[in-house]
Structure 1
Amino acid sequence: MTTIRHTTTDRHELETFLCDYAATLLECGATTVRIEKNVLRMAEAYGSETEVNIYPRHVEVVVKGKAAGSIIVRSKATCLCAVNYHTVKSLSKLSLHCRERHLPLGTAIMLYRKVTGTPRIPFPAVTALTSLANASFCRLFGGDGMAMLIVLVATACGFYVKDALHRKWHIDPRLSIIAASCISAVMSCSARVFSWSGTPDTALATSVLYLVPGIHYMNAVSDLINGHHICAMSRFITASTTTICLSAGLYLCLLIMNINIM
């Protein structure tokens, strides 16, 4: 495999770049095994050996220069971001291009900044897609057309409230999930209160499914299988906390509406 030789200045840029690259993958919801493979692939393309240590809130990249024999450690804390598989996919492609097309380091950094600077899908579009997906879950579990419509509206309102509480008013995300779950569940109770649907229980049960952290559960299992027990436990605890919060919001709705599901 052909590698690209770099000066000392380029080497420092490479170390910083690999650390930023790994941190971005972790923030966007990539599994630990994907982060390791991508960073290792990219380091090899530029003539370096790399070890990646991944922790719940930061990453540590150890770069070993083959030519100079030096070892430099770079560490970067990560922030809480929404899962973005488009970014994960694009950055994975970037690592392949660096190895197969022998991209100069400056070009790779430019492409990385282009990927991370790409605007996310507009919030109204995300809200609409989430609502349609949750309404589809309602149909999947046997809900009728009216139940699907109620779930669609309840999801849209709950999703908006969750985002507004967390991003605009900086409310703790766990409290935001409780509030969103309660609002969506209360709105879905209209199917029972006004007898608008023949499947009110399905509407109530599926109205909060959009809050289930399925990706975090899957990543936790993947990390556990690949031996990253610290990250696996961290992601599992985070996902479990979210599940408890949405369950608390649903239970609060049952108390408010005086509904007995037993």
Structure 2
Amino acid sequence: MYADTQNDITRQVVRVAQLLLAYGAESELVEEISQRLGHALGIASVEISISSNSLVLTSLVHGRCITTTRRTREHGINMTIICELQRICLLTEKGLYGINEVRKRVSRIEPRTYPKRYLVPMIGLSCASFCHLFGGDLAACMITFLASSIGMFVRLSIAKHHFNLLLNFAVTAFVTSMIAQVGYQFSLTETPKLPMAASVLMLVPGFPMINSISDMVKGHLNVGISRWGHATLLTVSSVIGITVAMQLGGLFL
């Protein structure tokens, strides 16, 4: 294998690993896909080291090593991209894709999200469903739907302007909790506590926490602790927003 070819393959493998990390894949999957893709493209050995905000990848062919480092930045959870990268790896292993096709497919990958006009009411409906499961009456479910829908709209609007994620969660939790308090303020429901609890469930960072535990269990302590810390900060930010809203609403005696 020529040096230029090894360089090209290494760049594509590390790009795939970078995308997997950025869009929420667990560390074990990143290692597995990187090694399988490298082997399928003709690399004898692929070694990868993952940290909280970077990765180092080394490829070995006929005793010649190439090492490259990439910085990783979170772009949110997007399983569509992760599945597409796995599909590229599988088709490469079957011999259907070569390096040129892999490069072309990876360069075309773009995150796709649901339109806001569909996402906002569905989030509201899901939180209202939780309220119903918790035993809330019809009025409580309606309040939950309204509060969580507006909260999700605020969250998406803030994210569109690329504000800090911690600030986003705090402001969203504050707005959502302020609206959910109407059941207390105007005695609209027999279960006024449930909208307060159910409407902010959209802010629970469940996926990052699951990934962090998975990473730590599988030996990736640094990445796991980093993800756990980030998820904890998001939770604390949400709690701050909820606490301020409850304080302004006079719910703390």
TM-score normalised by the chain length of structure 2: 0.93
- Do the aligned residues in 2 keep the contact of 1:150 with 1:203 (CA within 8 Å)? yes
User: In the alignment, which of 151, 154, 157 is matched to residue 158 of structure 1?
Assistant: 151
> Is 1:9 equivalent to 2:7 in the alignment?
no
Q: Higher mean Cα deviation, 140-149 or 87-96?
A: 140-149
Partner residue, 1:203: 195
Give the counterpart letter for 2:138 in structure 1: G
- Do the aligned residues in 1 keep the contact of 2:81 with 2:110 (CA within 8 Å)? no
What do the CA deviations read for 1:18-52 (whole angstroms, capped 9, x no partner)? 11110100010000011111111111111211011
- Which stretches in structure 2 are left out of the alignment for 5+ residues? none
Partner residue, 2:222: 230
Q: Higher mean Cα deviation, 56-65 or 217-226?
A: 56-65
TM-score normalised by the chain length of structure 1: 0.90
- Do the aligned residues in 2 keep the contact of 1:28 with 1:83 (CA within 8 Å)? yes
- Do the aligned residues in 2 keep the contact of 1:26 with 1:35 (CA within 8 Å)? yes
Partner residue, 2:131: 138
**CA distance in structure 1 between the partners assigned to 2:22 and 2:121 by the alignment:** 24
Partner residue, 1:77: 71
Give the counterpart letter for 2:135 in structure 1: G
RMSD after superposition: 1.7
- Which stretches in structure 1 are left out of the alignment for 5+ residues? 1-5
Partner residue, 2:97: 103
- Do the aligned residues in 2 keep the contact of 1:45 with 1:102 (CA within 8 Å)? no
Q: Percent identity?
A: 23
**CA distance in structure 1 between the partners assigned to 2:111 and 2:53 by the alignment:** 23
Partner residue, 1:53: 49
Give the counterpart letter for 1:208 in structure 2: V
Partner residue, 1:29: 24
How far residue 102 of structure 1 moved from its aligned partner, in angstroms, is 4.3
**CA distance in structure 1 between the partners assigned to 2:119 and 2:55 by the alignment:** 29
Cα distance 1:124–1:62, how it changes in 2: closer, same or farther (>3 A)?
farther
For 1:106-117, list aligned pairs within 5 A. Answer: 106-114=100-108, 116-117=109-110
**CA distance in structure 1 between the partners assigned to 2:222 and 2:194 by the alignment:** 37
- Do the aligned residues in 2 keep the contact of 1:29 with 1:83 (CA within 8 Å)? yes
How far residue 129 of structure 1 moved from its aligned partner, in angstroms, is 2.7
SS in structure 2 at match of 1:196: coil
Number of aligned pairs? Answer: 252
SS in structure 1 at match of 2:97: coil
